[in-house]
Amino acid sequence: MVFAPGEKPGNEPEEVKLQNASKQIVQNAILQAVRQVSQESQHREERISDSQGRIQLGVGELTKKHEKK
């Protein structure tokens, strides 16, 4: 095994620990980002659904007013 300047053979387990910790941090960040995007998408869909419901109510009211005349 060849070591770079300043690198010691005894540091390998410590480096592995750091690499594993880094991987875990990245995985957690990605998971959090995916959850956030999913929640934002769900909220957006709910708002669109609510808006469409209100539009349909408005159309129904217009139809009723037109029928009364």
Write the CB contacts of 3 (distance below 8 Å, at least 6 apart in sequence): 9
Lookup: tokens for 42: 């769900």
pLDDT at 47: 80
Q: What is the pLDDT of residues 11-69, one digit of tens each?
A: 678 999 999 999 999 999 999 999 999 999 988 888 877 777 666 666 565 555 555 55
What would the DSSP string read from start to end of 27-59?
HHHHHHHHHHHHHHHHHHHHHHHHHHHHHHHHH
9 vs 22: which has the higher pLDDT = 22
User: Look-up: residue for tokens 């769900």?
Assistant: 42
pLDDT at 4: 60
pLDDT at 2: 57
Lookup: tokens for 19: 């690499």
| pTM for the full predicted model | 0.52
Report domain extents, the chain. Answer: 15-50
User: Do 9 and 3 meet the contact criterion of CB atoms below 8 Å apart?
Assistant: yes
